[in-house]
Structure 1
């Protein structure tokens, strides 16, 4: 059996249990310290580096009774972030103990941030990182850990989607989901890059009270997205954006530029409201005022896990609104149009607007603009 000195994110026992695929109560841990070392946040990352610092002490956990399989899983998880195993002697309540440790090759001062604060990380990121670890370890042992590192931000975004999805939802007409309604016997990820495809083997409860036969279904995984339609009540005008889209191109559409609402993937740790405010600045250079929630929906629940939050945002769409925008670093080439609300509805009728989030937002606005946004 082996021992490891853990510090930083792996001191969060639910995360450690997810990585090891073991119940948290079976983990043999005790507090430990590494003298003359300090934990500093890796700049631009959500984890700390451990570095020599005379007189300091790096606090962590001593994890004991590790099998070769446990170490292989830890090596896989940590290897994706560039960590390798080394040996140290740590202080415990029972005296000095030899243990393994994960160290990072990056140690230049230019790459270091503030001192690591476990409490701050746990409050904001622990649930997200723990959920993302499930997708990381889904690739063990076949997927190269370096690929996990390249995809990690997208994994965090999908983890955020999962956490939001767990909020209780209404079930007044539809069948309420209860424990035991889904019996999953297998899960695989046959494709994983920026996006991913997961395949599930399961049985589900039937309306007649029985269980279905075992079936295999696949879903295309992205993170959740948020859209916003800027609306100027004083001018009764909306801002629409236009850009080339790969979807119409892949379908063979005769028109490859799409008229849409402002939209973007919800970044890790971000709320849908924060997303649309950020995207409005990036794509159209406008600041939004009050936000009005339209709908939340799955655009294609039979095949995609994507969930979209749509808003109408009040904005001043004066002479300076519109024109070219988008982030060059993301390859965006966006043109913004300010048009009267009536003109936007004409574009829906002719089919020139064929984008579902924009259509839904315009229909919401048609229903509410005189009572909610332009009250008498």
Structure 2
């Protein structure tokens, strides 16, 4: 049996238990310290790195009695980041103890401020714990490097699961109660930037009986947020245009799409933060007051994506628009500022065929008068 020393996110016991597929109460953990090492945040990431630092001390936990299966699961979870176990001596209340610790095999990543477990737990603990469910769906067959490459999307989907827990009305529809759905099996046959999960389950029918076992698949992406900038003084809106692979894959005669500003909600962001960031990136504008339009599933029979749509008050002077987008994300975006009446005509002609934009324009047409300045 091995003894493993953890200094970072795996000191969060709920996360460690998810990785090991064990109950938290079954884990034998001992506080420990590794001398002459420091733990610091990795720049731009939600996890830390450890590096030699004479005189410093890395605080952490030792997991005792690590058997082959637990070792294999931990190797898988850590493996995509180029980490490997190294022998060290740690200090415990009972004295020095031999242990192993995951250390980077290649060049150390760029680090910043000193790592703080409590700070990480407050902001990332629950998200990272849920993300471990998706990471370990690939165990043992999927290359762990795939998980590392797509980990930010995994975090974004975990954050979406947390938002999805918010209470929602059920006055007409059947309320979902504990035990209404019995999951029999789950797998993830495809995982890249997006993912596909497959389920075998049964659920309560409207007559109270159980449905037969059914097999369904869901296309996984992160939640998204859209915003339609509106200038009340000019009664004009800002629309963006870009090439879209969906129409291309369908064989549409027109593959450039007129849309609202939109983006995936990054882990740790709110939908409001997302649309303000995207407005700068895609159109170079700063948004004023945000008005919530709707929140909705565009295709609940097949996709997990949930969209938060907003209309935002904004100053759209002559000359607004032009080219934008992030080169790092291969974005090629053109912005148009048009009268609201022109945008509504584009819905009628079919030139606007983007559902979030249509919903936002219809909401704006309904609420336009209360947003406009008094004559």
Give the alignment's TM-score, normalised by structure 2: 0.97
Residue in structure 1 matched with residue 337 of structure 2 by the alignment: 338
Residue in structure 2 matched with residue 263 of structure 1 by the alignment: 262
Residue in structure 1 matched with residue 303 of structure 2 by the alignment: 304
Aligned residue-pair number: 375
Flag as ranges the 4+ runs of structure 1 deviating above 4 A.
372-376
Say which SS state the counterpart of residue 143 (structure 1) adopts. coil
Q: 1:372: how far off?
A: 4.3
Q: 1:57: how far off?
A: 1.2
Residue in structure 1 matched with residue 161 of structure 2 by the alignment: 162
Q: 1:46: how far off?
A: 2.2
Q: How far, CA to CA, are the matches of 1:40 and 1:105 in structure 2?
A: 17
1:263-302 equivalence runs, <5 A:
263-302=262-301
Q: How far, CA to CA, are the matches of 2:200 and 2:68 in structure 1?
A: 29
1:42-57 equivalence runs, <5 A:
42-57=42-57
Q: How far, CA to CA, are the matches of 2:372 and 2:288 in structure 1?
A: 12
Say which SS state the counterpart of residue 133 (structure 2) adopts. helix
Q: How far, CA to CA, are the matches of 1:48 and 1:363 in structure 2?
A: 46
Residue in structure 1 matched with residue 96 of structure 2 by the alignment: 96
Residue in structure 2 matched with residue 367 of structure 1 by the alignment: 366
Q: 1:45: how far off?
A: 2.6
Say which SS state the counterpart of residue 150 (structure 2) adopts. helix
Q: How far, CA to CA, are the matches of 2:34 and 2:77 in structure 1?
A: 22
Please identify, of 98-107 and 197-206, the stretch whose mean Cα deviation from structure 2 is larger.
Answer: 98-107
Q: 1:268: how far off?
A: 1.2
8 Å CA contact 2:233–2:372 kept in 1: the answer is no
Please list the CA deviations of residues 200-225 of structure 1 after superposition, one character each: whole Å capped at 9, or x if unmatched: 01011110001100011000000000
Q: 1:44: how far off?
A: 2.9
Residue in structure 2 matched with residue 204 of structure 1 by the alignment: 203
Q: 1:85: how far off?
A: 0.8
Please list the CA deviations of residues 254-277 of structure 1 after superposition, one character each: whole Å capped at 9, or x if unmatched: 111111100011111111101101
Q: How far, CA to CA, are the matches of 2:152 and 2:373 in structure 1?
A: 40
Q: How far, CA to CA, are the matches of 1:373 and 1:2 in structure 2?
A: 69
1:1-376 equivalence runs, <5 A:
1-108=1-108, 111-374=110-373
Q: How far, CA to CA, are the matches of 2:245 and 2:47 in structure 1?
A: 35
Q: 1:326: how far off?
A: 1.1
Give the alignment's TM-score, normalised by structure 1: 0.97
5+ residue gaps, structure 2, are none
Q: How far, CA to CA, are the matches of 1:43 and 1:353 in structure 2?
A: 41
Say which SS state the counterpart of residue 259 (structure 1) adopts. strand
Q: How far, CA to CA, are the matches of 1:38 and 1:324 in structure 2?
A: 45
Please list the CA deviations of residues 53-72 of structure 1 after superposition, one character each: whole Å capped at 9, or x if unmatched: 22221100011122211110
Name the CA shift for 1:374/1:131 in 2 (closer, same or farther; >3 Å). Answer: farther
Name the CA shift for 1:76/1:125 in 2 (closer, same or farther; >3 Å). Answer: same
8 Å CA contact 1:90–1:97 kept in 2: the answer is yes
Please list the CA deviations of residues 250-309 of structure 1 after superposition, one character each: whole Å capped at 9, or x if unmatched: 111111111110001111111110110111111111100000000000000000011000
Say which SS state the counterpart of residue 218 (structure 2) adopts. strand
Q: How far, CA to CA, are the matches of 1:185 and 1:373 in structure 2?
A: 54
Q: 1:152: how far off?
A: 0.7
Please list the CA deviations of residues 317-363 of structure 1 after superposition, one character each: whole Å capped at 9, or x if unmatched: 10131111111221111111111111111111111111000000001
Q: How far, CA to CA, are the matches of 2:70 and 2:372 in structure 1?
A: 58
8 Å CA contact 1:51–1:107 kept in 2: the answer is no
8 Å CA contact 1:160–1:269 kept in 2: the answer is yes
8 Å CA contact 2:232–2:371 kept in 1: the answer is no
Q: How far, CA to CA, are the matches of 2:347 and 2:97 in structure 1?
A: 70
Q: How far, CA to CA, are the matches of 1:320 and 1:143 in structure 2?
A: 50
